[in-house]
Amino acid sequence: MDNQINPKIIFMGTPEFAANILRVMLEEKFDIISVYTQEDKKIGRNQNLEKSAVKKIAEEYGIEIFEPTKFDEDIACEIENQKPDLIVVSAYGKILPKSILEIPKYGIVNTHPSALPKYRGASPIQNAILKGENKTVATIMCLVEKVDAGDILRQEETEIGKTENYPELSQRLSEISARLLIETIPLLTTGKIEPKKQDETRATFCQLIKKEDGKIDWSDTAKDIYNRFRAFYAWPGIFTYFKRDDRDLRLKLNKIILDENSKENDFASGEVFEENNMIKIKTGKGNIILEEIQLEGKNEMKAIDFVRGYANFVGSVLK
């Protein structure tokens, strides 16, 4: 980047989406003076501590790291003492108080992967897929106290692939956001960009995603179920229940395909049947094809192999 325009920047972010952006900024020689990220999390059965993706990048580049649990007066003073010209926020997962917003000379910019003011909130990529959107937007915006309501600096639209899942779309939007951000910062610091107000009358908000949202309702359409699979591919995944010997066994659907050649049949919603050497499930409208499934506590299996071990699976009605 132009050496004459090299603001001192604090970067705040946590997951892979943000880490990709941080890496690009560092490769482009932006002056990242420190990184703020969420504290290490316990994961898995063994509850091992896992560093955030952003923390790993910061350690790789030898950047000072802060992991505050909350933004109190001490943290505000700490940030002020660093004298940042700009703060960049990307999927940080914490709300910044007004005392922080007022510190940087050029304010705080935020990356948000949606067509703001549509899909404000913490899960815009998943929500766009859930709603069957065929396009979405990478947005660079000014951060304000109200969630995702700041003025828009740059936006770029991109199509969502018919089979594209959350991790894939998140990666692409991260790449687009990184490029937009490195183009936007010099314009912002030289006053060559005009922020645009959001239309509050068009604002919509994301559904908060919970683990239980992965439960399939077989009265939904095949397309809606497939969209749920794509949106929840990384987490929480989609699941259903298979009755065997008067027990309801939790069955995770690790890979499904939308049956583009669904024909009308008399099966009940949720009923498993075999057709053309494929294991299918009838939905409220259309069918889905099961490819890979996993009983809770068991290994993942090809659906066709699963049927060999559970002969009553075909003909059962999943709940």
Q: At 216, phi and psi to the nearest 5?
A: -85, 135
State how far the Cα of 13 lies from the Cα of 18, in Å rounded to an integer: 5
pLDDT score, position 2:
45
In DSSP terms, 272 is beta-bridged to 281
pLDDT score, position 3:
45
Domains plus CATH for the chain? 8-202 (3.40.50.170), 211-309 (3.10.25.10)
Strands (E), 188-246: 239-244
Residue type at position 6: N
pLDDT score, position 152:
98
Residue type at position 189: T
pTM: predicted TM-score of the whole model, two decimal places: 0.94
Mean pLDDT, rounded, of the chain = 95
Tell the residue number behind the tokens 């007004």, with chain if given: 98
Average pLDDT along the chain, 319 residues, taken 10 residues at a time: 74 98 98 97 84 98 97 96 98 94 97 98 97 98 96 98 98 98 97 97 95 97 98 96 92 97 92 96 97 95 94 94
Q: Are 36 and 92 in contact (CB under 8 A)?
A: yes
pLDDT score, position 44:
75
